Chains A and B, each alone.
Chain A
């Protein structure tokens, strides 16, 4: 049973870089899955940020692509998110999630989520 756990600073200053890590247990990050990030601003809906395959191949939301970097660390069985030039609009609960490589695919499971607030 795959389990995911997000970690990182809960407060980031405007114009700074948001950095989060998702630790994977119960499966190898080298398995046939896309390792994904999804966010949810307080009281609002879900927005897919991007994903990475263990080979390093990535896909990003076009609306965030210029500011997002997702990377994988096979030695630690984890993957990470960096979002640069943050503003208050980036305040959200950030989830990591798994999506299998083949179609049809869906996000399951998800981490518990971590709230990141952008404020000075």
Chain B
């Protein structure tokens, strides 16, 4: 299995801040990397697929980059509604998810 490691596990930031979450794969996955947002009691929602493609309807404040083993999710200007847990997921082989990053708004 390909292991996905996210960092940090949690973070706290203020409205308007630029936030970056990283995801590292245990082997190269090309650009087959997706990012999800999950709010309490809700199903995950895809934000970014194929490492950098913004899902339709998702705010342009979200962006993704990377290829190979190292990827980032960036929120350009943090808003209160961005408080959530974020997961990366590789689709190169048998799907696996990162452990999640809990984002809190100060």
Contact = CB atoms under 8 A, between A and B. Distances in A.
Interface of A: 36, 45-48, 59, 61-62, 95, 97, 99, 103-113
A48 B97 contact: yes
B44 A46 contact: yes
Interface of B: 1, 31-32, 34, 36, 42-46, 49-50, 53, 55, 87, 89, 91, 94-100
A62 B55 contact: no
Contact of B46 (A36, A107, A111): A107
A104 B32 contact: yes
Nearest to B93: A59
A61 to B, nearest CB: 7
28 contacts: A36-B95, A45-B87, A45-B97, A45-B98, A45-B99, A46-B36, A46-B44, A46-B97, A47-B97, A59-B94, A62-B1, A95-B43, A95-B44, A103-B91, A104-B31, A104-B53, A104-B91, A105-B49, A106-B34, A106-B49, A106-B50, A106-B91, A107-B34, A107-B36, A107-B44, A107-B95, A108-B55, A112-B42
B42 to A, nearest CB: 8
Contact of A107 (B1, B89, B100): B89
B45 to A, nearest CB: 8
B89 A106 contact: yes
Contact of B50 (A36, A99, A104): A104
Contact of B94 (A62, A103, A104, A113): A62
B46 A106 contact: yes
Given A36-B95, A61-B94, 6 more contacts: A45-B100, A104-B53, A106-B34, A106-B50, A107-B46, A108-B55
